A and B are shown apart, each in its own frame.
Chain A
């Protein structure tokens, strides 16, 4: 049975059928999925009952995996999953929902802001793969925004204005927006990195806006002007026509290209378990040279 992809949104997102990703993939299947990612930027696989090992093996088809960044928010012993996973659940190590004022919970609320995974790393991520193990019945959708269409829809003057802009990204900035108090030690792990605002996809050549709530400034701009401008761009880029909302079913795996999309999670009932496990494929190059 060959891989087939059915488009779910007018500009992006494909639903993949005809492949069992719990099993080792042939070279042709991997190439078909990569081709689908180049084109659709987000792929949805339904009914894939993955173990952690199988998710890791499937993810490694697409490159080396990123490890969860050591910010110190989660202490050793608080990790529920292997460090190759980002634990996108609301659960403690006993699989119970985190308390309302739990610091890890408050930190993770940053995922409700539009972002691109690991844009705060000098070499940012390519794909993220998120497996829904226990999903929310109400809310908890993951929304994706197509940054290629958002770029295409800019007027000519704005395209010219932003072509060579370089932004500074840091977890500091996204957490500041939510008023999350970071310790000096945590802040020290979050030095801003530089990223181009406009990037071209290596396979398709299509340009996209490289936006994220992790952006705190534009090189050469006064900070308030940069922030106001980035807010305008974010609003433009997340208009309904660019957005797909993924309603989770158990055992969905959704993978997306962080170079071409932003995403965020919507609010859900946190008194009930939501167990989502993310693997992340590391990139191989910077979008722009870092400050010396």
Chain B
């Protein structure tokens, strides 16, 4: 049975069938998934029971894995998934597998995932793909939403396209957390919190399509007064997350969803996280750094 991809949204997102991703993939299958990512930006694989090891193995088909910032900043005894920092814990559980208390610091930090963002855009080289696997899914809510930044770019008017073409933005985890009133970082993380620069408009290396590289981690535009930059970013975010650009993924157990952080933003929606468990595991592929060269060229 060969792999096939069915579009599930007018502008992006494909559902993949005909492949068992718990098993080693052939190079043809890897190439087909990559081609699907270039075209659809988000791919959903249904009914794929995976162990952590299998998820890591599948992810490594697409490049070198990133370690998660939350994992880096957490004390070892607070990490539920142990010392494998390549495995991001996207759950509402403590290290002892209990639902986090309402004022749990990790819960506060993770609430910013409800803001639209692109993974690791606060790093000099942002993430390429992210892969998220659903282990326990709440009965109500907790969807992950995706917004197509290529379609959002295409829909800008010509004057705005010209205006944003050479802009360089500043990203930090501090900026997204600040918006929800969180600023509780352990000492020793200063380097991880320092803003990095990225171009606002990036070009996909394969398709050549332009997209808006937006994220709630943005706190400024180089050369702009901060309040003006933030007001403009809010307008662009609102434009880019209009309904016609958004797909909402309703999770089922054993879904694996992968997306390209260079061409989509995403966010989690609310669920009753004080009563229900939501356990997802995340792996991310390091980006290629093309965007940084672009940023330097723009300076």
Contacts and interface: CB of A to CB of B under 8 A. Distances in A.
Interface of A: 100-101, 106-107, 109-110, 112-113, 175-180, 216-217, 222-229, 231-232, 266-267
B231 interface: yes
Contacts of B177: 224
Contact-residue size bin, chain B (C-beta under 8 Å from the other chain): 20 to 34
Of the candidates B111, B115, B177, B235, the one having the most CB atoms from chain A within 10 angstroms of its own CB is B111
Contact of B270 (A177, A217, A229): A229
Contacts of B182: 223-224
Contact of A232 (B103, B107, B225, B270): B270
A179 B180 contact: no
A215 to B, nearest CB: 11
A249 to B, nearest CB: 23
14 contacts: A112-B231, A112-B234, A112-B235, A178-B226, A179-B219, A179-B227, A179-B230, A180-B226, A224-B112, A225-B107, A227-B181, A232-B269, A267-B231, A267-B232
B47 interface: no
A127 to B, nearest CB: 26
B228 A228 contact: no
Contact of A101 (B107, B112, B225, B234): B225
Contacts of B39: none
Contacts of B103: 222
A113 B180 CA distance: 16
A101 to B, nearest CB: 5
Nearest to B184: A224
Contacts of A107: 227
B180 A224 contact: yes
Contacts of B112: 224, 228
A109 B114 contact: no
B270 A106 contact: no
A223 B177 CA distance: 11
A179 B78 CA distance: 32
The 8 closest A-B pairs by CB, nearest first: A223-B181, A227-B180, A178-B227, A179-B226, A224-B180, A106-B227, A224-B108, A178-B230
A106 B225 contact: yes
Contacts of A180: 226-227
A225 B108 contact: yes
A155 to B, nearest CB: 11
Nearest to B110: A224
B227 A228 contact: no
Given A179-B219, A222-B102, A228-B270, A106 B181 contact: no
A75 to B, nearest CB: 19
A170 B16 CA distance: 49
A178 B180 CA distance: 13
Contacts of A101: 225
Given A228-B270, A232-B270, A223 B230 contact: no
Contacts of B107: 225
Nearest to A179: B226
Given A100-B228, A109-B227, A224 B181 contact: yes
Contacts of B115: 228, 231
Contacts of A266: 235
A100 B269 CA distance: 37
A276 B179 CA distance: 30
Interface string B81-119: 000000000000000000000110001100110110000
